[in-house]
Structure 1
Amino acid sequence: MATIGDEDERERSSSFEEIAGDDDDEVTDGRASRAQRRRRQRRDAILRAAKRVFREKGYHAASTRDIIDAAAIARGTFYLYFQNRRELLAELCESFLERIRGSVRRISLDPADGEPLEQMRANFRRVMAVVVEDSDLADIMLRDPASFDPETRAQVELFLDQVVALIERAVEVGHALGIARRCDRHIIAVSALGALREILRRMLEARRAAAIDAAPARDRPASSTSATPGPTRPSAALTDIEAVADELLAFFVQGVFT
């Protein structure tokens, strides 16, 4: 016959097992969380390495082996995350577009949020900052899509089409707010994209040249251009992100001729 003491002992034993089970679950969850974090870090490291390799060698010249070496991982590890270079580039394109989308804020008519043009100026500056912060990937995306193979070219052109759609939407909103004239939004968006791509490409070149000039002579690459301005050297004026953003905004809003 079971006594009260026996029942108490069983309850204590059961409680201990539940606590031990909870501890085991916590240990398991902790290990799973750490493993997931390591996988995410490894994936991000591969993406960063791919950006560097694609910019330095070009997409065509870059091999999977180059990316594996740059990421300092085993070949088998690479294929746990990506099947090929195209898959890498597709993810890089999507992440870049998401960062650009995330930098653009909806224009508000609330006086507390400032004038619409000032909000647009802030949007331009944030987009420029994203491009500069992710210059390796921006270099890839700003190249002529014709330089890629057909499948990769389709990925890059899809990215550019999505940017055109973003600009069209901005023009539509501007018209609704009374700060943009009635126009063919698609033609304007395609024209704006062309101007943006070229100015951003030159801006990145100018910032790299300025960084080389600022470095001690012993640290400069042998192939770097001299500090003497010349017809092929990007303008130093392009190194100022805010100034470039402000001039672009003025161009798109006011044009050139008065």
Structure 2
Amino acid sequence: MDTLEKDPAKGAASQDSTDNRAVSEGGEPRIGKRERTKANNKEAILNAAQEVFGELGYGAATVRDIIRKTGLASGTFYNYFKSKEEVFEALMDRGALRLRPRIREQRLKSKTLQEFIYNAYHTYFLDLYDDIANYRMLQRNSGAVRVKMSTPEVLAGFDEIRKFIEEYIEAGKLANLDAEFLSAAAIGIASELGDRMLMRDEFDVDGATNFAVNLLFGGLPALSEAAQNKK
């Protein structure tokens, strides 16, 4: 009986082929079918919840309404969330998770406080435009949003602005102001202007950014001067 010797090169190639099946063409780990299904189910629940909260409002919406919109079994919902409160927080955090690294990137590359605030405002208003359906849902449920603003991801996003202000104060580039109050004022301007933009037919990202920066850094005189220069 002939015995075939194992070709080391072929064996190595075969092993490489097996290993490569777990890696995508871009070098990223492939997501297994189970993980992909879990991710799709969670996304389906979040998208359904966004629609339900937008249509019915947070107070009137129920878990059953969300499940009905997904077409998934009720048990599937509870594999991911315990209540509608958790789903609502996840919707808020989804935006914060997307926005936070973008704001941090602006903080790291900006050379001045005004440059950072401008870039942070512009990034936020642009995100508002890109995810307008979710923001309009949150706007409709503003009472619930006010209560839920303390989620870790949302607070972490606020911290990026506070940290930059504190760094500026410590470097002697800004008077020893209350960094917490100043960051709250900066965020409040963005939040209120964003709410007003969501009510308008036209979405002017640059206009809102310039208005917010002029208001924060120059007050009414700066706004008046900017308005005169437009004429």
Normalising to structure 2: TM-score of the pair?
0.71
Q: Secondary structure at the match of 2:220?
A: coil
Q: Which whole-Å deviations, capped at 9, do the CAs of 1:183-203 have from their partners, x for residues lacking one?
A: 112222233333322211111
| TM-superposed deviation, 1:69 | 2.3
User: Do residues 106 (structure 1) and 102 (structure 2) align?
Assistant: no
> Equivalents in 1 of 2:13, 2:46: separation in Å?
42
Question: Per the alignment, do residues 99 and 180 of structure 1 end up closer, same or farther by CA in structure 2, a change over 3 Å counting?
Answer: farther
User: Do residues 244 (structure 1) and 208 (structure 2) align?
Assistant: yes
Does 1 or 2 have the higher relative contact order (CA < 8 Å, sep 6+)? Answer: 2
Structure 1 unaligned regions, length at least 5:
211-235
Question: Per the alignment, do residues 124 and 194 of structure 1 end up closer, same or farther by CA in structure 2, a change over 3 Å counting?
Answer: closer
* Aligned counterpart for 2:129 among listed residues 124, 132, 150: 132
Of the structure 1 ranges 70-79 and 244-253, higher mean CA displacement relative to structure 2 is found in 70-79
Structure 2 partner of 1:122: 119
Question: Per the alignment, do residues 161 and 184 of structure 1 end up closer, same or farther by CA in structure 2, a change over 3 Å counting?
Answer: same
Contact 1:141/1:156 (8 A) holds in 2:
no
One-letter code of the match for 1:106?
R
Contact 1:107/1:120 (8 A) holds in 2:
no
> Equivalents in 2 of 1:100, 1:33: separation in Å?
27
Give the superposed CA RMSD.
Answer: 3.9
Identity %: 24
| TM-superposed deviation, 1:246 | 1.6
| TM-superposed deviation, 1:248 | 0.6
Contact 1:131/1:138 (8 A) holds in 2:
yes
> Equivalents in 2 of 1:53, 1:193: separation in Å?
28
* Aligned counterpart for 2:150 among listed residues 157, 162, 171: 157
| TM-superposed deviation, 1:133 | 2.0
Structure 1 partner of 2:163: 169
One-letter code of the match for 1:192?
A
* Aligned counterpart for 2:182 among listed residues 188, 202, 207: 188
Q: How many residues matched?
A: 214
Q: Which whole-Å deviations, capped at 9, do the CAs of 1:46-75 have from their partners, x for residues lacking one?
A: 112212221222211111122122223222
> Equivalents in 1 of 2:187, 2:116: separation in Å?
20
Q: Secondary structure at the match of 1:106?
A: helix
Question: Per the alignment, do residues 23 and 59 of structure 1 end up closer, same or farther by CA in structure 2, a change over 3 Å counting?
Answer: same
Question: Per the alignment, do residues 83 and 116 of structure 1 end up closer, same or farther by CA in structure 2, a change over 3 Å counting?
Answer: closer
Contact 1:142/1:197 (8 A) holds in 2:
no
Q: Which whole-Å deviations, capped at 9, do the CAs of 1:173-216 have from their partners, x for residues lacking one?
A: 4445766443112222233333322211111111xxx2xxxxxx
One-letter code of the match for 1:201?
D
Structure 2 unaligned regions, length at least 5:
25-29, 223-231
Question: Per the alignment, do residues 133 and 178 of structure 1 end up closer, same or farther by CA in structure 2, a change over 3 Å counting?
Answer: farther
One-letter code of the match for 1:65?
R
> Equivalents in 2 of 1:156, 1:37: separation in Å?
30
User: Do residues 54 (structure 1) and 48 (structure 2) align?
Assistant: no
Question: Per the alignment, do residues 196 and 108 of structure 1 end up closer, same or farther by CA in structure 2, a change over 3 Å counting?
Answer: closer
Could you say which structure has the larger radius of gyration? 1
Contact 2:162/2:179 (8 A) holds in 1:
yes
> Equivalents in 2 of 1:109, 1:50: separation in Å?
37
| TM-superposed deviation, 1:256 | 2.0
Q: Which runs of 4+ in 1 moved over 6 A?
A: 16-32
